[in-house]
Amino acid sequence: MTEVDEMAVDIERIHQLNSVLRPFIKRPSSGDAVTFEQYRILHELVKEKTSTSELSRRLNVGQSMISIQISRLLKNGYIKDETLPTDRRYHVFQITDHGKAVHEHVSLVLAHELPQLMNKLASYVKV
């Protein structure tokens, strides 16, 4: 098999992986109005309250994407905004009880669905 042929096979595998992952990542989770990206933010905030820039660093995504998701999570009451008394310009976000309940539910759904997804993905990965 030539290098070009091998690259074509790899590109096809990437396309197949993308088609398997996209619905899992983009869909709202089992009735909860959170996307996978929002779940990742909730997951970080369960550990500790933190800032937009720290979330961006931890999740390895741009601050603008984090800000958009933070706005949606705030609007739905999953998190709350807190400013530091020493510097009113600095905002940290904390998960609410409602957000914790959603996080717990989505975690249970993922624990059930993730092994199935991993098995499906393994069938596409070159061994």
pLDDT, one tens digit per residue, over 22-52 is 666 555 555 556 888 898 999 999 999 999 9
With a cut of 90, say whether residue 55 has pLDDT above it.
yes
Q: Decide: helix, strand or coil at residue 94.
A: strand
- pLDDT value of position 54: 95
Domains in the chain (CATH in brackets) are 3-122 (1.10.10.10)
Contact (Cβ atoms closer than 8 angstroms) between residue 45 and residue 95 = yes
User: Token digits for 60?
Assistant: 């390895």
pTM of the model: 0.74
CB 79 within 8 A of CB 95: yes
Name the pairing type of β-strands 87-95 and 79-84. antiparallel
The rounded Cα 40 to chain-centroid distance in angstroms is 4
Here the tokens at position 14 are: 């990437």
DSSP type of residue 30: T
